[in-house]
Amino acid sequence: MIIGKDIIDQYNKAGVENFNSDFDFLQNKLTRSGANVAEIVNKIADFQVAIPSWALGAGGTRFGRFSYGGEPAVLEQKLDDVGLLHALTHSAGAVSLHIPWDIPSDVSALKESAKSHGLVFDAMNSNTFQDQPDAKKSYKFGSLNSVNEDSRAYAVEHNKEVIRIGKELDSKSLTVWLADGASFPGQLNFQTALSNTEKSLKEIYADMPEDWKLFIEYKPYEPNFYSTTIQDWGTSFMLANACGERAFTLVDLGHHLPNTNIEQIVATLMYKGKLGGFHFNDSKYGDDDLTVGSIKPYALFLIFNELVYGIENNKNNPYPAWMIDASHNIKDPLEDLLQSLEAILIAYAQALLVDQKALKTAQLNNDVVAAQDILQNAYRTDVRPLLQAARLQSGAALDPIATYRNLKVRETLISERGWAKATGL
Ligand code: AOS
Ligand code: ZN
Ligand code: ZN
Ligand code: ZN
């Protein structure tokens, strides 16, 4: 199924009048307070978030998975789904593949299809957290950190294979997330595990082309419940520094112990030029991988406030790679991703509204009340007309979810693809 611009335009007609009056109201209000609305709308329109191939099927928990119907069975169909999201929003212009779940059978056909949807291949993801049916070595007791030299070499080799596939697709980065750790005290020697991990990552880094980046993701626990070798941003940062200047830390919002100040981590990494990538999701308890902005939208805004500040002020930090890393089993995955994209852009737009000059003045005067007000004024602004303006100007849908439903996308996908489950998680 392909959604053409003409069809979107047709559906937009019904909403344009309301949009105009909402937008005028907001534009006047923001212009009065000194904001450059056209510039903000352009920034929102430019913001692109990668969709991971594994979020397109119905995800789940370790207790079960319920199919949604019409899930993409093969990589080409996953690309088609991201294409639908991009047509509706014009903010999902990239796809993040996972090897071995997404091994392309015909590289040039795949590139052609990506091009036709306006998509690029963002970071490649390796997988050394599962044994594949044809696995020659096991990752049961670790991969890049393994005490078993053969397992370690096998895991390094897999990452090199992912780089090789990524090169063919013109991807420019590799994300490494490791499940490596221990479930019981005494199971592994922390220092040996860390030093093996560092050695392995250096081998992978050395194999990357000169214009590639390595993103090192951290996570405090799960699937191991006593220790994880790359448990926090500090460990990731240390390993990134050990690898070299094209290695960076990747922040996944769900990978922190409760109440961790993630915005401060973002600021610290950007200050050092080491924030490479971002996985968006939301959570209440752990790595819940819920829809972005569904639980803690204010925290998301505060994080974006640091991102916007860092993009402006830390020129030593490369522009981060954005990806949604969410997956669960009770919503239509495409509608869920549309909600996540909306939440990301809302937080971004609100952060763009923060009066940075006034905030600096308040901070210099230790005016705590004013500082809080400046942030909350931005956060409490209903910025959705700005997102609509950005979409309208790029030919996307004024209301993506309503258009998706009106067009009966899921019903069409079910009739085209049936009830087979997606490959992957
Ligand atoms: C796992 O918890 C991490 O969030 C990973 O980034 C990702 O979900 C996994 O690599 C899926 O392939
Ligand atoms: Zn992640
Ligand atoms: Zn995760
Ligand atoms: Zn997650």
Could you identify the atom of ligand 1 that is nearest to the CA of residue 129? 10
Q: Is 30 inside any structural domain?
A: yes
pLDDT tens digits for range 275-301? 999 999 999 999 999 999 999 999 999
Residues with CB under 5 A from ligand 4 (ion): 254, 281, 287, 289, 325
CB 217 near ligand 1, within 6 Å: yes
Compute, in angstroms, the gap from residue 175 CA to the centroid of ligand 1.
9
Model confidence, pTM: 0.97
Compute, in angstroms, the gap from residue 211 CA to the centroid of ligand 1.
24
What per-residue confidence (pLDDT) applies to 366? 98
When the pLDDT of each residue in the chain is averaged and rounded to a whole number, the result is: 96
Q: Which of 174, 278, 325 to mutate to test the pocket of ligand 1 (most atoms within 8 A of CB)?
A: 325
Compute, in angstroms, the gap from residue 177 CA to the centroid of ligand 1.
6
Q: Which of 96, 252, 283, 324 to mutate to test the pocket of ligand 1 (most atoms within 8 A of CB)?
A: 252
Residue 399: is its pLDDT beyond 60? yes
Kindly indicate whether the ipTM for this predicted assembly is greater than 0.90, answering yes or no.
yes
Residue 72: is its pLDDT beyond 60? yes
Compute, in angstroms, the gap from residue 324 CA to the centroid of ligand 4.
9
Q: Is 13 inside any structural domain?
A: yes
Number of the ligand closest to the Cα of 98: 1
Residue 116: is its pLDDT beyond 90? yes
Residue nearest to atom 6 of ligand 1 (CA): 177
Residue where the block lists tokens 């056909």? 109
CB 47 near ligand 1, within 6 Å: no
Binning pLDDT at 50, 70 and 90, where does residue 403 land? very high
Could you identify the atom of ligand 1 that is nearest to the CA of residue 217? 6
CB 332 near ligand 1, within 6 Å: no
What CATH number should be reported for the domain holding residue 396? 3.20.20.150
Q: Is 55 inside any structural domain?
A: yes
Residue 67: is its pLDDT beyond 90? no
Compute, in angstroms, the gap from residue 412 CA to the centroid of ligand 3.
31
Q: Is 424 inside any structural domain?
A: no
Compute, in angstroms, the gap from residue 237 CA to the centroid of ligand 4.
19
What per-residue confidence (pLDDT) applies to 425? 54
Q: Is 425 inside any structural domain?
A: no
CB 212 near ligand 1, within 6 Å: no
CB 219 near ligand 1, within 6 Å: yes
Binning pLDDT at 50, 70 and 90, where does residue 17 land? very high
Q: Which structural domain range is residue 400 located in? A: 5-417
Binning pLDDT at 50, 70 and 90, where does residue 92 land? very high
CB 325 near ligand 1, within 6 Å: yes
Structural domains in the chain (count)? 1
Q: Is 202 inside any structural domain?
A: yes
- Mean pLDDT (whole number) for 219-231: 98
Residue nearest to atom 10 of ligand 1 (CA): 177
Residue 63: is its pLDDT beyond 80? no
CB 256 near ligand 1, within 6 Å: no
Q: Is 423 inside any structural domain?
A: no
Q: Is 227 inside any structural domain?
A: yes
CB 353 within 8 A of CB 383: yes
How many CA atoms within 13 Å lie on the side-chain side of 420?
9
CB 279 near ligand 1, within 6 Å: yes
Compute, in angstroms, the gap from residue 217 CA to the centroid of ligand 2.
7
